[in-house]
Amino acid sequence: MMKAISVRGTVASRISLWCAGTVLALGGGVASAAGVTDAMIKNDAVTTDQVLTVGLGLHGQRHSPLKTINAGNIGDLVPAWTFSFGGEKQRGQETQPLIYDGKMFITGSYSRLWALDAKTGKMLWDYQHRLPDGIMPCCDVINRGAALFGDLVIFGTLDARLVALNQDTGKVVWNEKLGDYKAGYSYTAAPLIVDGLVITGVSGGEFGIVGKVDARDAATGKLVWSRPTVEGHMGTFKGKDNGITGKTNASWPGDMWKYGGAATWLGCTYADDVGLVYCGTGNPAPWNAHLRPGDNLYSTSTVAIDVKTGKIRWSYQSTPNDHWDFDGVNEFIPFDMDGKKVGAKADRNGFFYVIDRANGKLINASPFVTRQTWASGVDLKTGRPIESGNRPGDPSQASGEKGESVFSAPSFLGGKNWMPMAYSPDTGYFYVPANEWGMDIWNEPITYKKGAAYLGAGFNIKPLYEDYIGALRAIDPRTGKIVWEAKNDAPLWGGVMTTAGDLVFTGTPEGYFKAFDARTGKELWKFQTGSGVVGQPATWEQDGVQYIAIASGWGGAVPLWGGDVAKKVKDISQGGMMWVFRLHESGADVAKN
């Protein structure tokens, strides 16, 4: 199939590049020694004049040391500029901006990427990936951001490719295949750069793909190692076998492992002190767990992979033999607690976990939602959930086509879904965008067919309370206690950011971008963006001015899969705008004095 990629910007770059099966660059080449380096990426969390990683640092803490904008002057925050994602492709905009060398790099729905002037919002160039017919994204045509290395900006596409563009021109430098989109593979997460490697996962667990984590040479795109996340599959290192993941049939019956899911669809974090990449894995396939008795490793888990060898150093499974599509992809955020090197994860199953980041030992686990029907707690000795017998019935034992339905909370959309939480080293709290909902769920017969949905389940999501679904919650990881919460009528679906100005930023489906006091939870400021906010905030300093950016554009999984909840948010307008804020000049003058 011939593919056309259109790159627009300068007159010289308004060309279409045609080739069979891949995209070539005119005047491309590998990343030069200049540009974004590994050292710069490792210092991203403490650098204020650029944002080089999605997550504001390799740990993904989403905390900025900037404090020009603070609780005292947040009322003077006003728009500096806006940029429209344009066209008719106004679906969910879940991107986080990257800032480097005066440019902002943002991705958009339908596998698009733009380079903008970070100070004015002027478009410098854009890239619109030519998507083939037959792509199978599970949960909207979103994209969650890019990665920077050398003179490249790298992002994934809905047809499961990884594309590297020149930061100055937008021309394609390399283009690599992550998986077969005809089998259900896709890619929506932001890549991670570690020691010159670009780390990626894959999406497609609802189609029976096999999850994996790949590491490629960031300059050339060539595969270095690959680690499957379903037991029984062979890993590779520099083109050679690198050991089977786990042991074949140890926790999977028969041939079920061949289509086992465990998609790594959210992305990864990294801790340099232990040399480990942390990636969450999704649901085992199919959803009907009666067909796959056993723990089904390494689904619904956090896997810690040695970045140099591509081998799993440790794993922790939050929902063994997952029957509710709870996944386990939620971000694992390294941080230090009472002198210990640990990490935290707010799982879709409703538990907030603190785990030793070096060896995977569970330290504590506490609920961060009000209702969990599937488990009463977590056994800290074994690390396993204490289940409550809330599994849907086996359809093979039923008189009809489906098994007995049960009501389960949280719903499969999770106590927290993809939307990343943030950490503040100043308060010691995590800020979790939680949701209170449940679901009726039942199982149905299912067999694997390439490219077809592989669920074996039906469901309907329902709110638990009349007055709210979403709740931004500050959690003390030492105790697991909720310190404060800010309730929201609609479910929360956007990322969170903290700053040294003792502020917490996030958005709502109702269109508001909000700032809260990090210590008390008091709402200090809000701005109506015109569409639901499901993007991820970022902040940086340029010419002595602190800027804060957020993408607005309603979409994602809720309107597609949300059942009764989807009806509640059906009137939210779609859109597609990048909003950038700064202090009004009078407020900025006060901040400087």
| CB neighbour list of residue 566: distance below 8 Å, 6 or more residues apart | 461, 558, 559, 560
Residue for token pair 């329902």: 462
Cα 45 → chain centroid: 18
Give the helix/strand (H/E) hosting 565.
helix 563-568
76, 140, 325, 327: the catalytic one is 325
For this structure, is 325 an active site residue?
yes
C-alpha to C-alpha distance for 558 and 488, rounded to whole angstroms: 15
Closest listed residue to residue 174, CA positions, set 28, 290, 309? 28
For the CA atoms of 11, 12, 18, 24, the dihedral, rounded to the nearest 10 degrees, stands at -140
**DSSP assigned state of 62:** -
| CB neighbour list of residue 252: distance below 8 Å, 6 or more residues apart | 230, 231, 232, 260, 292, 294, 296, 297
Closest listed residue to residue 208, CA positions, set 313, 286, 134? 286
Give the helix/strand (H/E) hosting 542.
strand 538-542
C-alpha to C-alpha distance for 428 and 423, rounded to whole angstroms: 7
Take residue 325 and report the two structure tokens written for it.
């599509």
Q: Are 343 and 335 in contact (CB under 8 A)?
A: yes
Residue 219: CB atoms within 10 Å: 20
Give the helix/strand (H/E) hosting 566.
helix 563-568
C-alpha to C-alpha distance for 504 and 62, rounded to whole angstroms: 10
Catalytic residue positions, numbered: 325
